[in-house]
Amino acid sequence: MNKIIEKLSNKNTKSISKAISIVENQEDNYLELLSEIYSYTGKAYRIGITGPPGSGKSSLTDKLIEKIIKNNLSIAIIAIDPSSPFNGGAILGDRIRFVNKFKSNEVFFRSMSTRGFQGGLAMSSNLVADIFDASGYDVIIFETVGVGQVEVDVMEAADTVVVILVPESGDDIQMMKGGLMEIADLYVINKSDRQGSDKLFASLNKALEINDYKNWIPKIVKTVAISGEGVDNLYSHIMEHKDFLNKNMIIKKKLNERYISTVKSFISKKLIDKFWSEKADKVLEKELTVTHQKRLSPYQIANKLLK
Amino acid sequence: MNKIIEKLSNKNTKSISKAISIVENQEDNYLELLSEIYSYTGKAYRIGITGPPGSGKSSLTDKLIEKIIKNNLSIAIIAIDPSSPFNGGAILGDRIRFVNKFKSNEVFFRSMSTRGFQGGLAMSSNLVADIFDASGYDVIIFETVGVGQVEVDVMEAADTVVVILVPESGDDIQMMKGGLMEIADLYVINKSDRQGSDKLFASLNKALEINDYKNWIPKIVKTVAISGEGVDNLYSHIMEHKDFLNKNMIIKKKLNERYISTVKSFISKKLIDKFWSEKADKVLEKELTVTHQKRLSPYQIANKLLK
């Protein structure tokens, strides 16, 4: 066992935080670190949870965390927090207070913002997950707000994707538009004691029937996060999906896909970084001094630079 | 004047549609086409309109289109439609019917889906806008649904960005989280006859005060799209913003930024396409046959491939 793994596997908060910041800031040794921990990854189960603001996502995630801890599993939560100077702080504060309650290294919370990351948030959150994975956390939760491409990208790194909807919010349509329909393994109808819950269930069910799923058919779970109703059921369904992935060797395929996409991202980044030398920048800058009508088209200058 | 421009400048529907499909499908001659039209671009004014589903974005855009046509300006609308098998069709149908009403080449409508584009939707929609620009359309509208990264990327290609909010929807918070706060030039509070309109105005106003804008301070416009109330005012504010960009030479800066980002995207794509030879693919595939614990880390194999 190498030295880094030895430190991480004690789930020492300081060691883990340091490893994360090395990766986040892409410090000089970050690739060595990631290389050293790589063979110790692939053990944690990765759950993605997403839903629009107001869907009760945080409350439901809290209840799920409690359930996981009760099952004597260690858990790391990565909250993908779109940069918000307005309300991000408050939401994070609630979550930090919730996690601190457990006073244990077996629960680790980390938020990541959309700002300041080279290589994209999906990649960065996946690398941070690798650190938790190598540290021996049993479960990793990726928590995102919203329904955009970033969320879809982040969710693609999860083994089980949980999409939360609420009755009568219109969010169901937005969800479907955002491409989450293609990646959801479980749908949660939260606040299911509200009017419109049965209607949402029916329309979702119908949408699932139209789709031609080859493997797993997504399940729908009704919950009331505040009271905890349905959380046990949600947990069972996550475990059921986990078993399904294991039995059908899909989990191995997912690991390979993650490997390929990491390799490809790193190669792309290196190729692009290497290309944009000072000289190339200067050629481009010079062209900008020519008037719009007279300058080379972007494709002509690109080809010139590539030569 | 070259041959392609001659055809396009008649605003011949068939010629424009053909040019768009050459670019969308990246047919063999697509870069030549884009190169030939490039020096004829940079004249159209590009407006980005975004807002969540249910914000009345379509109705408001329709009213704005009518206003633009009344001012004897030609207009092309690019609707960025996240791929949806469920409801995308109906919304598109309404818009097509609306545009067809005008029975004129001076109004052109094109929808683009998130699926099937190499190089990203923001890039593709920008290239299609270049075709409209070279064809002599005075105004180009990018219309997107949602608040994710794709929307932000698309909006960055617009000269004036209009973000639509509605009272009491909670969308204001989502908008702010999604990063649109940073790129909005104009806020529209639509359905402003509803309760909560003044409250939204006040909170938005406060948020604008906190931000430290260097140049243009975003304006807030109240509208009721159904009745057309406030649409003239919205149009005036767009024109005011346009004048501001022209007077302060910001429009030139925006054109240069678009030029740089197009060059960079094309170079990245070419570098990556060139790198992934059959040989490189095989090296990666071979590594996947090794068990997870024994294989090279993604960073090690990336470096091996780069050598």
Would A32 be classed as within a structural domain?
A: no
- Give B18 to chain A, closest Cα distance, Å: 20
Predicted local distance difference test score (pLDDT) of residue A16: 95
> CA-CA distance, B171 to B149, in Å (whole number)?
16
Which residues are CB-neighbours of B122 under 8 A, at least 6 positions away?
A: B150, B153, B154, B156, B157
CA quadruple B211, B261, B45, B163: dihedral sign: negative
With a cut of 60, say whether residue B115 has pLDDT above it: no
Would A35 be classed as within a structural domain?
A: no
Measured between beta carbons, the chain A residues lying within 8 angstroms of B272 are 267-268, 271
Clarify whether residues A258 and A295 are in a common domain. Answer: no
- Give A293 to chain B, closest Cα distance, Å: 4
Would A157 be classed as within a structural domain?
A: yes
- Across the interface, whether the CB atoms of B177 and A39 are under 8 A apart is answered no
**Residue B285: band (very low, low, confident or very high) from pLDDT cuts 50, 70, 90:** very high
Which tops the pLDDT comparison, A150 or B50?
Answer: B50
> CA-CA distance, A74 to A68, in Å (whole number)?
8
Q: How many helices (H) and strands (E) would you count in chain B?
A: 13, 7
Measured between beta carbons, the chain A residues lying within 8 angstroms of B282 are none
Would A113 be classed as within a structural domain?
A: yes
- Give A107 to chain B, closest Cα distance, Å: 26
By C-alpha distance, the chain B residue nearest A301 is B263
Measured between beta carbons, the chain B residues lying within 8 angstroms of A41 are 292
Clarify whether residues A280 and A233 are in a common domain. Answer: no
A165, exposed or middle or buried, with CB in 10 Å at 0-12, 13-18, 19+? buried
- Give B70 to chain A, closest Cα distance, Å: 30
Would A34 be classed as within a structural domain?
A: no
- Across the interface, whether the CB atoms of A284 and B263 are under 8 A apart is answered yes
CATH number, residue B40:
3.40.50.300
- Give A246 to chain B, closest Cα distance, Å: 15
H/E run at residue B76: strand B75-81
Measured between beta carbons, the chain B residues lying within 8 angstroms of A85 are 210
- Across the interface, whether the CB atoms of B305 and A31 are under 8 A apart is answered no
Measured between beta carbons, the chain B residues lying within 8 angstroms of A272 are 267-268, 271
User: Residue A84 is nearest to which of B177, B268, B306, comparing CB atoms?
Assistant: B177
How many residues does this entry show for chain A?
Answer: 307
Q: Hey, what are A63's tokens?
A: 């209840």
Clarify whether residues A300 and A167 are in a common domain. Answer: no
With a cut of 50, say whether residue B116 has pLDDT above it: no
By C-alpha distance, the chain A residue nearest B181 is A84
- Across the interface, whether the CB atoms of B299 and A34 are under 8 A apart is answered yes
Query: How far does Cα A123 stand from its chain's mean position?
Result: 9
Dihedral angle computed from the Cα positions of residues B63, B67, B72 and B76, in that order, rounded to the nearest 10 degrees: -40
By C-alpha distance, the chain A residue nearest B258 is A298
Predicted local distance difference test score (pLDDT) of residue B152: 72
Measured between beta carbons, the chain A residues lying within 8 angstroms of B92 are none
- Across the interface, whether the CB atoms of A148 and B146 are under 8 A apart is answered yes
Predicted local distance difference test score (pLDDT) of residue B86: 38
Clarify whether residues A165 and A215 are in a common domain. Answer: yes
Clarify whether residues B159 and B36 are in a common domain. Answer: yes
Contact at 8 Å (CB) between A57 and A147?
A: no
Q: At what angle do helices B121-134 and B250-275 cross, to 10 degrees?
A: 120
Clarify whether residues B286 and B215 are in a common domain. Answer: no
User: Residue A151 is nearest to which of B148, B267, B306, comparing CB atoms?
Assistant: B148
**β-sheet bridge partners, residue B75:** B107, B139
Predicted local distance difference test score (pLDDT) of residue A98: 78
Clarify whether residues A120 and A185 are in a common domain. Answer: yes
Predicted local distance difference test score (pLDDT) of residue B63: 95
Query: Nearest-CA neighbor of B215 among B189, B177, B241?
Result: B241
Predicted local distance difference test score (pLDDT) of residue B175: 53
Per-residue pLDDT tens listing for chain A (307 residues): 678 888 998 899 899 999 999 998 889 899 999 999 999 999 999 999 987 767 888 899 999 999 999 999 999 999 886 544 334 444 566 777 777 778 788 999 988 875 544 456 778 899 999 999 999 999 999 998 765 666 777 788 899 999 888 886 555 555 555 566 778 899 999 999 988 899 889 888 887 887 777 789 999 999 999 999 999 999 999 999 999 999 999 999 999 999 998 999 889 989 999 999 999 999 999 999 999 989 999 999 999 999 8
Q: How many structural domains is chain B composed of? A: 2
Would B272 be classed as within a structural domain?
A: no
Clarify whether residues A100 and A154 are in a common domain. Answer: yes
Measured between beta carbons, the chain B residues lying within 8 angstroms of A207 are 86
- Across the interface, whether the CB atoms of A176 and B86 are under 8 A apart is answered yes
- Across the interface, whether the CB atoms of B255 and A148 are under 8 A apart is answered no
Clarify whether residues B33 and B146 are in a common domain. Answer: yes
User: Residue A148 is nearest to which of B54, B147, B305, comparing CB atoms?
Assistant: B147
Clarify whether residues A88 and A234 are in a common domain. Answer: yes
pLDDT digits (tens, 9 = 90+) for B34-46: 999 999 999 999 9
> CA-CA distance, B165 to B179, in Å (whole number)?
14
For chains A and B, count residue pairs whose Cβ atoms are closer than 8 Å.
Answer: 174
Clarify whether residues A260 and A281 are in a common domain. Answer: no
Q: What is the mean pLDDT of residues B129-158?
A: 85
> CA-CA distance, A87 to A75, in Å (whole number)?
26
Would B270 be classed as within a structural domain?
A: no
Predicted local distance difference test score (pLDDT) of residue B124: 86
pLDDT digits (tens, 9 = 90+) for B201-231: 988 888 788 777 778 999 999 999 999 999 9
Contact at 8 Å (CB) between A239 and A224?
A: no
| Range of the structural domain that residue B298 is part of | 277-306
pLDDT digits (tens, 9 = 90+) for B253-270: 999 999 998 999 889 989
Clarify whether residues B8 and B73 are in a common domain. Answer: yes
Would B198 be classed as within a structural domain?
A: yes
Q: What is the DSSP letter of A297?
A: P
